[in-house]
Amino acid sequence: PRAVTAPPPERPVAQQAAAQPATDPSPLVAAPAPQAEAREAPQAVTPPRSDAAHLNNPPPPYPSLSRRLREEGRVVLDVYILADGRVGETRLRRSSGHPRLDEVALDAVRRWRYVPARRGDEPIPFWYVQPVDFRLDS
């Protein structure tokens, strides 16, 4: 008698989602690239910035109850920055451990403006990791 073994289960293949939702329901067909473009090297992407002085991004206000309770921490957010520098979406990547601080950081960053990411000279939408620190000694 021969032992029968089941075939290994198939693993699903992860699919990457597009950074922007598709607006055209027709199937995408790649057009052949012109020869000149085929020889060009890919352009480097410059990440967005929120620290430019002309953007006037105010720091999040420190909640008074959090001050009294001596709550401190670092909130880390994922921020989707549109090509025009506005914030399209924010997500909590890592909590400070204090929900009040997390919410204040999310609310403030949603109103910030950024110098958008660029591919060459062209502004592009970009996911950016934005830390926000809350320190009582600062």
CATH code for the domain of 72: 3.30.2420.10
The domain total for the chain is: 1
User: Which residue numbers in the chain have pLDDT < 50?
Assistant: 2-33
Contact 92, 127 (CB under 8 A): no
Above pLDDT 70, what percent of the chain? 68
Question: Do the domain assignments include residue 26?
Answer: no
Contact 47, 117 (CB under 8 A): yes
Question: Do the domain assignments include residue 28?
Answer: no
- The whole-number pLDDT of residue 9 equals 43
- The whole-number pLDDT of residue 122 equals 95
Question: Do the domain assignments include residue 43?
Answer: no
Question: Do the domain assignments include residue 63?
Answer: yes
Predicted TM-score (pTM) of the model is 0.66
- The whole-number pLDDT of residue 87 equals 97
- The whole-number pLDDT of residue 59 equals 94
- The whole-number pLDDT of residue 47 equals 85
Which residues constitute the domain of residue 79? 53-133
Question: Do the domain assignments include residue 102?
Answer: yes
